[in-house]
Amino acid sequence: LAKTTQPISMDSYEGQEVNITCSHNNIATNDYITWYQQFPSQGPRFIIQGYKTKVTNEVASLFIPADRKSSTLSLPRVSLSDTAVYYCLVGDRGSTLGRLYFGRGTQLTVWP
């Protein structure tokens, strides 16, 4: 599985847009990029998944350049409740059948 690299931590203020970038230089052709959010003492929660270009849902946007060696999770207008750890994962969503290997994640802290 492709290894991912993310910043360990990021800080932001309420109302700002936050962009968290993940590097995955060894991403395979069949791999998808998935982001999860985890609050303390809770299980991770799926945020968004994409393969290329841009994906947007009600929570976030995911930008993936043409070479797919990195991706950026964009959270618009963050609030205090967005303070959490964000994980970027890369894998073949078919064959892995749910087996996920988490990296260190990015601790996002949103300040008032």
Partner 1 sequence: GAVVSQHPSWVICKSGTSVKIECRSLDFQATTMFWYRQFPKQSLMLMATSNEGSKATYEQGVEKDKFLINHASLTLSTLTVTSAHPEDSSFYICSAREPGNTEAFFGQGTRLTVV
The residue (of 29 and 99) whose beta carbon lies closer to partner 1 is: 99
Neighbours of 78 (CB within 10 A): 18
82 by DSSP, 3-state: which? Answer: helix
* Distance between CA atoms of residues 64 and 54, nearest Å: 6
Binding-site string for partner 1 from residue 34 to residue 53, where x marks contact by CB under 8 A and - marks none:
x---x--xxxxxx--x----
The residue (of 98 and 112) whose beta carbon lies closer to partner 1 is: 98
The residue (of 74 and 107) whose beta carbon lies closer to partner 1 is: 107
Backbone angles phi, psi at 81, to 5 degrees: -70, -5
93 token code pair? 């969503």
Interacting residue ranges for partner 1, rule: CB under 8 A: 32, 34, 38, 41-46, 49, 87, 93, 97-105
